[in-house]
Amino acid sequence: MADWKHTALLVIDMQHDFIDVAGPMLVNGGKAIVPNVIKAVQIARQRGIQVVWVVREHDPLGRDVELFRRHLYPAGKVGPTVKGERGAELVDGLVIEQGDYKLVKTRFSAFFATHLDSFLKGSGIDSLVVTGVQTPNCIRQTVFDGVALDYKSVTVILDATAAATPDIHAANILDMKNIGVATPSLQEWSELDALSSGYQ
């Protein structure tokens, strides 16, 4: 029987402000992958994989956001993914359940200035599966950091991640493939046995 107890599924930035058509940080390809992200979470739960919800939540005044984005948080206006606002909530169909883990980040990488690595290593996790948005920013930086931190296996589900355009998505997937990251489709990943070598 497959053993997935050393694997974590990272669901990155699947929040209203990134996915909704009227969202201030809309990722054009984001809405199309919602069903596949939901399915990936379902498969992870069935396999006993640790689900980690990685989200941006910012101070209302934008004091913890990157310098180049601080103009989006003027006084009297609600900026993107402000803690407690609807824009920072997960999109419909994605729900944090008991046993899941929520990690708040304020930069592209889920590892930067967070305790994600210590949480994962402390939980016996040595393999990562990544879903969410968007491929050239938060997905890519998290994946590259995961590789740099010597996670045994890093996988990006091809059709459960997205970027502004298919070309941008494909170019970044290729870069990640070239550093040894597996890039299966959701269907391929759903059929993958934990003890097999996976897809490259």
Would you name the residues annotated as active-site residues? 13, 105, 138
Alpha-carbon gap, residue 199 to 46, rounded angstroms: 21
Nearest to 130 by CA among 66, 199, 40: 40
Q: Is 56 exposed, middle or buried (0-12, 13-18, 19+ CB in 10 A)?
A: buried
- Residues 68/116, Cβ–Cβ less than 8 Å: no
CA angle, residues 51, 21, 85, in degrees to nearest 5: 60
| CB-facing half-sphere around the CA of 158: CA atoms within 13 A | 19
